[in-house]
Amino acid sequence: MKNRIIYLLLLLLTFVANAQKKDKVLPEANEEYVAKNFVDAEANYRISHSKFPNRTVAEYNLGNSIYRQNQFSESKFAYANALKNIKSRPQKHKAFHNIGNVFMKEKNYTEAVEAYKNALRNDPTDEETRYNYALAKKMLKDNPPPKDDKKKDKDKNKDKDKDKDKKDDKKDQDKKDQDKKDDKKDGDKNKKDDGKPKDDQGQPKPKPGGISKERLENLLDAVNNEEKKIQDKVNANKVKGAPVKTEKDW
């Protein structure tokens, strides 16, 4: 029993020590961000997140640094990944707000409205989010998404098939009647093609998304450089917290 208590105490101390472990990379990433070195900041945020995957600050600010490089769609995934571990309502509000900004850049006003709406659910008092929400609704009203004509075309094809089936049935019945009247004629005749449209083939596939080769090479170089810097430096009460920028920060 005594040994078990000692084991549990050691396990608890180990857990506390790991929980209090400092992130030496995050302050450097924030400094790079403030200096507008967004590629280096992105590299450091990725390193920080790889070492502390359950902490949300690096993943969130990673989205901001990518956003600043005009890689809007990619930044959206970083924000979404951060949301998976976010617990507090203020942090959720900021993440949804920035996701709304990404959708506005992509002119996806439907999703932008939903993102800002989620942001306001977590902080109804933020006037900036409320303004963006109103703007997204106006843009959606002025630029409604294209109607889905596929369903209409499908229904039309169904109606055509039904009409054709009726005509074919009538032809078959007329043929049977004619066969009864004329015993000298052959019974069965070759049936014509039903004329139904064939399945579409060879449709172009969407181009897979991802980081371009050039940007990936730059990012890998930045990560390698930052790893070398980290090994040569000792963290001494560096500035903490997220950088100040136009997006919602933590």
* 84-113 tens-digit pLDDT: 988 899 999 999 999 999 999 999 999 999
- The separation between CA 217 and the C-alpha centre of its own chain, rounded to angstroms, equals 23
pTM: 0.57
- Ordered by where they begin, the domains of the chain are 54-143+231-250 (1.25.40.10)
Percent of the chain with pLDDT over 70: 55
Residue ranges, the chain, pLDDT below 70: 1-20, 148-213, 226-250
Distance of alpha carbon 229 from alpha carbon 32, whole angstroms? 13
Q: What is the mean pLDDT of the chain?
A: 74
**DSSP output for 213-230:** HHHHHHHHHHHHHHHHHH
Helices 56-67 and 25-34: crossing angle, nearest 10°? 20
Question: How far is the C-alpha of 52 from the C-alpha of 23, rounded, in Å?
Answer: 8
